[in-house]
Chain A
Amino acid sequence: MPAVSKGDGMRGLAVFISDIRNCKSKEAEIKRINKELANIRSKFKGDKALDGYSKKKYVCKLLFIFLLGHDIDFGHMEAVNLLSSNKYTEKQIGYLFISVLVNSNSDLIRLINNAIKNDLASRNPTFMNLALHCIANVGSREMAEAFASEIPSILVAGDTMDSVKQSAALCLLRLNRTSTDLVPMGEWTARVVHLLNDQHLGVVTAAASLITTLAQKSPDDFKTSISLAVARLSRIVTSASIDLQDYTYYFVAAPWLSVKLLRLLQCYPPPEDAAIRSRLTECLETILNKAQEPPKSKKVQHSNAKNAVLFEAITLIIHHDSEPTLLVRACNQLGQFLQHRETNLRYLALESMCTLASSEFSHETVKTHIETVINALKTERDVSVRQRAVDLLYAMCDRSNAKQIVAEMLSYLETADYSIREEIVLKVAILAEKYAVDYTWYVDTILNLIRIAGDYVSEEVWYRVIQIVINRDDVQGYAAKTVFEALQAPACHENLVKVGGYILGEFGNLIAGDSRSSPLVQFNLLHSKFHLCSVPTRALLLSAYIKFINLFPEVKTTIQDVLRSDSQLRNADVELQQRAVEYLRLSCIASTDILATVLEEMPPFPERESSILAKLKRKKGPGNLPDIDDARRHVNGSTEHSEITEHTKKGSTHPFDDPLNLSSTPSTGASLLVDVFSDSTTLAPVDVSEENFPRFVCKNNGVIFENQLLQIGLKSEYRQNLGRMYVFFGNKTSTQFLSFSASLNVHAKTVEPIIEGGAQVQQILNIECISDFTDAPLLSIQFRYGGALQNIAVKLPVMLNKFFQPTEMTSQDFFQRWKQLGIPQQEVQKIFKAKHPMDTEVAKAKILGFGVALLDGVDPNPANFVGAGVIHTKNTQVGCLLRLEPNTQAQMYRLTLRTSRDSVSQRLCDLLSEQF
């Protein structure tokens, strides 16, 4: 046990920790801990009042036990008591305990807030700092509510100590991140910006962090910070390293502050003022120059700090993307790092170059490093560096080097780490498609992909190759020949069997002239793989067989024999059995003409955004999103988590019923080059029609959209968390609509592409509510009327209240539950003016239409309405109580909602209050 060097030692604590460390087994440890817990409990409960020291010691022990990973369910009160001690260590341990074991017990929060308030008012900087740290560490909403208005005044007060200002700035930043709405901006904005001029560099650093965070949210309010930041930066980069005394870190002048200021400037475009702009350019040049100077120290800290500033400066240069000379210089400097002996620098250089590759000014310069990057892919020992090399190759790829890059990636794939294979596969597939001049190369590349990394080739990839082969008749013969050859390998991946089956089924006739690939040979080759494949692949092969019957009458009997065998007709899998039965029957009774019509070659797929690209975007998108179809984020451009998934079905519900007809995102029409990895939307903005949306809050059927051409009607029904919506598209004109498509930003299947004049087609959407949501899905409709392409977007009325099940309950039950939902956030109340005449019967009908049960005789005032229901989502059920109080004299309503979830209360209140 080491001697404690300073301060007070808590010997009892040290002994306890030592005991725990000496425990030979987990059981012994638990035994020792339980003994200690019993001891502490008895001390806390004992008659003898504990002195501060003992209290501190025991609270500290509890903290230690908690940090070991055990639950602690007492001691909170003692910790809170410590907060009011005027002895520093007692207070500190109290605060530490509170910070680590936040307890939502409301009594305690009140006591804690009280203690914090006292410390903030104490004018003792050490105590004030402890209190501010506690607020930042806990950072809960309650704390934000209690202190958000007080902290700005501490921050900008003239007599506040520097260290307290720093704490206050960062505390405010922390609260702003989690409870933006509670941190008022306004009169102190200008004074906060002014902190960038402070004498104390520590204060400036903390203020720069705060301003960056605030400026990201409301850039206009903090525009004045640009000139101050540039001035400050300029003073730092031109200073001699000794000027800044202790803020010089290993001979680098204030690296933290420099990086913060450069980050702050990234919230804005290049400065408009010419003088500021040229001063900033000078700063950036100086930073680039300094990076070239010989190092002032051999320590890694020196080079890290210097290069940290350099990389941040380069990031700013890339962000501005306006100074070609700086961009090219940055690129060359990064080029030197590509071969640096420090792995970290190689990694970062590869990463930064990725962004440089997308700038038109530096794209060509980046390309000159291709050999170095390919070499990195082959020789780097660290997988994360190789991953960056793959990213950079992808980013620098264009028509001139696509073949080389794709070939290198393919050869790397053979030995690539399993963790990054799928991503490489997607990248190769995208590049091969994007830069294919010659589609035979494309087909070869994809088949190679399947051969090398079949397990990592996702459905999107092999769907896509088939879409392209079907759409391009110049490559069909080649594709048939190539898959035929590839299938001859003794062991081939199931994905290859799928592609092979599909392509030979469609285009086997193109190679049937050669006796080596005669119809019978083709069939036997495919059928030799049949028994090794999974059910979906077998189903696909059966479809290929029936296509063969049409293409090659000479093998009809062979195939019929296969279909007729017990292993097909009596297959345990119902889908396979059904296909075998139906196909066999079809081949027996249909005439050649009918067969030819039914089994005609697939029509070209509509051009749309590559589904692979969408998948890669998803992979690269924010990974913390739960299982939502991210596609919606691209289309709506909003990042709100609305969790609702929908699938459209037509007829059968089998997952592999027509596996190729997938469409997850509507065609964006955007060039592939743009927006490969970014999240932003590239969809041309179409006005979203939502004027009729509110009408559907309390009813399920009606017309959602109508213009001179098209009328869209809806019929919907809901049960628990599931719903079905029938969408009717009516052509109001006497002319055909061509290439009609209606796609949902979630998941949808195309409708009939043609709507005759005066006709109506129907689409069915199946809806499932996963958890509570705010955003409604968008239905995007495209069609050609006459020559013109029409684009319509309609917000579908799928709202949270549709998933209500009404609940009847007695007056007593109601009030009991009402009380249970007593936490302030659970209640949302709104007082609003009546927009319609205040009719009791109409109001009743609306509340019933909203989905809740109307409870009679519950409210003592008969004029009030009281309702109850349960929202069903897949994950949870949320009970809801509502009360609507009309005031006919004032023509006002008061609506109160209580549910167990604050977001639900808010949403329901917003929806319903618009109805009266």
Chain B
Amino acid sequence: MHFLLLFSRQGKLRLQKWFTPITEREKKKVIRDMTILVLARTPRSCNFIQWRDMKIVYRRYASLYFCTGLDNQDNELLCLEVLHRYVELLDKYFGNVCELDIIFNFEKAYYILDEFLMGGEIQETSKVVVGTSIEEADTIQETLEEYMSKPAY
């Protein structure tokens, strides 16, 4: 997997993750191309697009598009399920996740993704294991009482 992008129906980018080194300029170009390409697709089109020498796999969940770029040998169908698993994990963490959760807790969305994917490869496929490790991390911070008494702004 070369990258993962989350953007809204209006083309607003909500999350970007790059698994191969690429310049900022090139990133901007990929983001622009992807939003144009994916948003133009009609419903019930297939979820795969050939783009340059990559396979683009995308899927829409409510108002958000999840879009990834794969190597030519990668398995497209399974990639759809990688996206689905990520949504499941977000769901589990936020409890019925919505776009606003990802906007306001973007750092968590990145963190959950990191627990699940690394270098573009799937790290842990078990929902239970990923879930546990995320909760453990949360516990570390919740036991720190000082956090509770911090000033708000």
A256 neighbours in B (Cβ, 8 Å): 78, 122, 125
Q: Which 5 A-B pairs have the closest CB atoms?
A: A174-B119, A308-B77, A308-B78, A170-B118, A343-B46
Q: Which of A114-122, A299-307, A544-552, A908-916 contacts B (4 or more CB under 8 A)?
A: A299-307
A231: min CB distance to chain B, Å: 20
A255 neighbours in B (Cβ, 8 Å): 78, 81
Say yes or no for A405: interface residue by CB 8 A criterion: no
Q: For chain B residues 101-152, which have a beta carbon within 8 Å of chain A?
A: 101, 103-108, 110-111, 114-115, 118-129, 133, 136-138, 140-142, 144, 146-148, 150, 152
The CA-CA distance from A344 to B46 in the complex, in Å, is 5
A163 touches B124 (CB 8 A): yes
A2 touches B104 (CB 8 A): yes
Contact with A along B59-95 (1 / 0, CB 8 A): 0000000000000010111101100110000000111
A177 touches B136 (CB 8 A): no
Interface range on chain B (Cβ under 8 Å from partner):
35 or more
B7: min CB distance to chain A, Å: 12
Given A92-B137, A170-B119, A170-B121, check contact A622 B53 (CB 8 Å): yes
The CA-CA distance from A5 to B152 in the complex, in Å, is 16
Known: A170-B119, A384-B50. 10 other contacts (CB 8 A): A5-B94, A92-B137, A126-B140, A202-B126, A257-B125, A304-B77, A343-B45, A346-B46, A348-B77, A384-B49
Say yes or no for A488: interface residue by CB 8 A criterion: no
Q: How many A-B residue pairs have CB under 8 A?
A: 187
B80: min CB distance to chain A, Å: 6
Task: Choose one: A96, A140, A205, A311; the contact of B111 (CB below 8 Å).
Answer: A96
Say yes or no for A263: interface residue by CB 8 A criterion: yes
Given A173-B119, A255-B78, check contact A623 B52 (CB 8 Å): yes
Contact with B along A4-32 (1 / 0, CB 8 A): 11111001101101100100000000000
Task: Choose one: B16, B95, B104; the contact of A17 (CB below 8 Å).
Answer: B104
The CA-CA distance from A21 to B14 in the complex, in Å, is 13
A384 touches B48 (CB 8 A): yes
B5: min CB distance to chain A, Å: 12
The CA-CA distance from A246 to B88 in the complex, in Å, is 14
The CA-CA distance from A832 to B141 in the complex, in Å, is 58
Task: Choose one: A8, A63, A133, A137; the contact of B141 (CB below 8 Å).
Answer: A8
| Highest count of chain A CB atoms <10 Å: which of B108, B114, B133 | B114
Given A96-B111, A163-B124, A382-B45, check contact A4 B105 (CB 8 Å): yes
A18 neighbours in B (Cβ, 8 Å): 104
The CA-CA distance from A170 to B19 in the complex, in Å, is 12
Say yes or no for A656: interface residue by CB 8 A criterion: no
Interface residues of B (CB under 8 A from A): 13, 16, 19-21, 42, 44-50, 52-53, 73, 75-78, 80-81, 84-85, 93-95, 98, 100-101, 103-108, 110-111, 114-115, 118-129, 133, 136-138, 140-142, 144, 146-148, 150, 152-153
The CA-CA distance from A139 to B21 in the complex, in Å, is 8
A6 touches B138 (CB 8 A): yes
The CA-CA distance from A312 to B78 in the complex, in Å, is 10
B153 neighbours in A (Cβ, 8 Å): 11-12, 15
Name 17 interchain pairs, CB-CB below 8 A, sorted by A: A2-B100, A6-B142, A14-B104, A89-B141, A89-B147, A93-B107, A96-B110, A129-B115, A133-B118, A139-B21, A206-B121, A246-B128, A247-B125, A304-B77, A312-B78, A343-B46, A384-B46
Which single residue of chain A is at the shortest CB-CB distance from B152?
A11
Which single residue of chain B is at the shortest CB-CB distance from A202?
B124
B125 touches A249 (CB 8 A): yes
B152 neighbours in A (Cβ, 8 Å): 11-12
Which single residue of chain B is at the shortest CB-CB distance from A255?
B78
Given A14-B104, A308-B78, A381-B42, check contact A170 B138 (CB 8 Å): no
Contact with B along A117-159 (1 / 0, CB 8 A): 0000000001001001100110110000000000000000000
B137 touches A126 (CB 8 A): yes
Say yes or no for A1: interface residue by CB 8 A criterion: yes
Which single residue of chain B is at the shortest CB-CB distance from A391?
B50
B120: min CB distance to chain A, Å: 8
Given A1-B104, A163-B133, A384-B50, check contact A53 B147 (CB 8 Å): yes
Contact with B along A205-232 (1 / 0, CB 8 A): 1100100000000000000000000000
Which single residue of chain A is at the shortest CB-CB distance from B79?
A308
B52 touches A624 (CB 8 A): yes
Say yes or no for A466: interface residue by CB 8 A criterion: no
Contact with B along A189-211 (1 / 0, CB 8 A): 00000000000011001100100
Which single residue of chain A is at the shortest CB-CB distance from B127?
A246
A53 touches B150 (CB 8 A): yes
Say yes or no for A583: interface residue by CB 8 A criterion: no
Tally of chain A residues near chain B (CB < 8 A): 78
A8 touches B147 (CB 8 A): yes
Which single residue of chain A is at the shortest CB-CB distance from B72?
A622
A5 neighbours in B (Cβ, 8 Å): 93-95
Task: Choose one: A7, A140, A249; the contact of B142 (CB below 8 Å).
Answer: A7
Which single residue of chain B is at the shortest CB-CB distance from A307?
B77
Task: Choose one: A89, A304, A387; the contact of B81 (CB below 8 Å).
Answer: A304
A665 neighbours in B (Cβ, 8 Å): none
Say yes or no for A696: interface residue by CB 8 A criterion: no
B104: min CB distance to chain A, Å: 6
The CA-CA distance from A382 to B40 in the complex, in Å, is 12
A136 touches B136 (CB 8 A): no
A133: min CB distance to chain B, Å: 5
Which single residue of chain A is at the shortest CB-CB distance from B118?
A170
Say yes or no for A171: interface residue by CB 8 A criterion: yes
A256: min CB distance to chain B, Å: 5
Say yes or no for A347: interface residue by CB 8 A criterion: yes
The CA-CA distance from A259 to B82 in the complex, in Å, is 13
Given A53-B147, A63-B107, A308-B78, check contact A7 B141 (CB 8 Å): yes
B144: min CB distance to chain A, Å: 6
B20 touches A7 (CB 8 A): no
B103 neighbours in A (Cβ, 8 Å): 17, 21
A201 neighbours in B (Cβ, 8 Å): 125-126
Q: For chain A residues 316-370, which have a beta carbon within 8 Å of chain B?
A: 343-344, 346-348
Given A5-B94, A178-B21, check contact A205 B150 (CB 8 Å): no
The CA-CA distance from A764 to B75 in the complex, in Å, is 50
The CA-CA distance from A14 to B101 in the complex, in Å, is 11
A773 neighbours in B (Cβ, 8 Å): none
A263 neighbours in B (Cβ, 8 Å): 73, 75
A167 neighbours in B (Cβ, 8 Å): 118, 123
Which single residue of chain B is at the shortest CB-CB distance from A302?
B81
The CA-CA distance from A340 to B50 in the complex, in Å, is 21
Task: Choose one: A136, A171, A257, A311; the contact of B75 (CB below 8 Å).
Answer: A311
B75 neighbours in A (Cβ, 8 Å): 259, 263, 308, 311-312
Given A5-B95, A96-B110, A348-B76, check contact A166 B123 (CB 8 Å): yes
Say yes or no for A67: interface residue by CB 8 A criterion: yes
The CA-CA distance from A404 to B112 in the complex, in Å, is 53
B44 touches A88 (CB 8 A): no
B104 touches A171 (CB 8 A): no
The CA-CA distance from A348 to B77 in the complex, in Å, is 9
A177 touches B78 (CB 8 A): no
The CA-CA distance from A434 to B85 in the complex, in Å, is 48
A622 neighbours in B (Cβ, 8 Å): 53
Which single residue of chain B is at the shortest CB-CB distance from A213?
B121
B127 neighbours in A (Cβ, 8 Å): 246
Say yes or no for A254: interface residue by CB 8 A criterion: yes
Say yes or no for A650: interface residue by CB 8 A criterion: no
Given A304-B77, A305-B81, A344-B48, check contact A126 B141 (CB 8 Å): no
The CA-CA distance from A622 to B103 in the complex, in Å, is 36
B138 neighbours in A (Cβ, 8 Å): 6-7
Task: Choose one: A2, A96, A344; the contact of B101 (CB below 8 Å).
Answer: A2
| Highest count of chain B CB atoms <10 Å: which of A255, A257, A384 | A384
The CA-CA distance from A273 to B83 in the complex, in Å, is 38
B45 touches A384 (CB 8 A): yes
A347 touches B140 (CB 8 A): no
B101 neighbours in A (Cβ, 8 Å): 2
